[in-house]
Amino acid sequence: TSNSTKNSPPSPPKLPIIGNLHQLGSSRSPPHLALQALSQVHGPLMLLHFGSVPVLVVSSAEGAQAIMKTHDLNFCSRPKSTVFAKLLYNSNDVATAPYGEYWRQVKSICVLNLLNTKRVRSYCGVREEETKAMIKQIRDSKGVVNLRDMLMTLTNDVVSRVALGKSYYSDGGFKELSVDHTELLGSLYIGDYIPWLGWLSRVTGLDAKLDKVAKRFDDFLDVVIQEHMDNTDQKEEDQKDFIDVLLEIQKENSLGFRIDRVSIKGVVLDMFLAGTDTTATLLEWAMSEIIKHPSVMSKLQNEVRGVNKAEEDILTEDDLIDMPYLKAVIKETLRLHPPLTLLLPRISTQDVKINGYDIKANTQVIVNAWHIARDPKSYDYKPEEFEPERFLNANSGISYKGNDFELIPFGAGRRFCPGVQFATAVNEIALANLVHKFNWTLPGGVRGEDLDMTESSGLTVHKDDPLKVVAIPYSSV
Ligand code: HEM
Q: Exposed, middle or buried: residue 453 (CB in 10 Å: 0-12, 13-18, 19+)?
A: middle
The CA distance from 47 to 9, in Å, is: 6
Please tell me whether the interface predicted TM-score (ipTM) of this complex is above 0.90: yes
pLDDT at 312: 87
Please work out, in degrees rounded to the nearest 5, the angle formed at the alpha carbon of residue 90 by the alpha carbons of 87 and 92. Answer: 100
Q: Report whether residue 411 contacts ligand 1, using a CB cutoff of 6 Å.
A: yes
Would the CB of 373 count as within 6 Å of ligand 1?
Answer: no
CB 416 less than 6 A from any atom of ligand 1: yes
Measured CA to CA, the distance from residue 304 to residue 322 in angstroms comes to 10
Is 76 marked as a binding-site residue? no
pLDDT attached to residue 27: 65
Ligand 1 atom closest to Cα of residue 76: 15
pLDDT at residue 371 in the model: 98
Q: Quote the CA–CA distance of 288 and 278 in Å, as a whole number.
A: 15
Compute the distance between CA of residue 141 and CA of residue 149 in angstroms, rounded to an integer. Answer: 12
Q: What is the pLDDT of residue 122?
A: 95
Per the CB < 8 A criterion, the answer to whether 455 and 464 are in contact is yes
Q: Is the CB of 402 under 6 A from ligand 1?
A: no
- pLDDT at 152 (0 to 100): 95
What is the torsional sign of CA 215, 216, 221, 222?
positive
pLDDT in 10s for each residue of the chain, 477 residues: 455 667 999 999 999 999 999 998 776 778 999 999 999 999 999 999 999 999 999 999 999 999 999 999 999 999 999 999 999 999 999 999 999 999 999 999 999 999 999 999 999 999 999 999 999 999 999 889 999 999 999 999 999 999 999 998 877 678 888 888 988 988 889 999 999 998 999 999 999 999 999 999 999 999 999 999 998 888 888 889 999 999 999 988 777 778 999 999 999 999 988 999 999 999 999 999 999 999 999 999 999 999 998 888 999 999 999 999 999 999 999 999 999 999 999 999 999 999 999 999 999 999 999 999 999 999 999 999 999 999 999 899 999 999 999 999 999 999 999 999 999 999 999 999 999 999 999 999 999 999 999 999 888 999 999 999 999 999 765
Pocket residue to mutate for ligand 1, from 164, 417, 421, 429, most atoms within 8 A of Cβ: 417
C-alpha of residue 336 to centroid of ligand 1, in Å: 17
The confidence score (pLDDT) of residue 237 equals 86
Domains and CATH numbers, the chain: 79-340+412-473 (1.10.630.10)
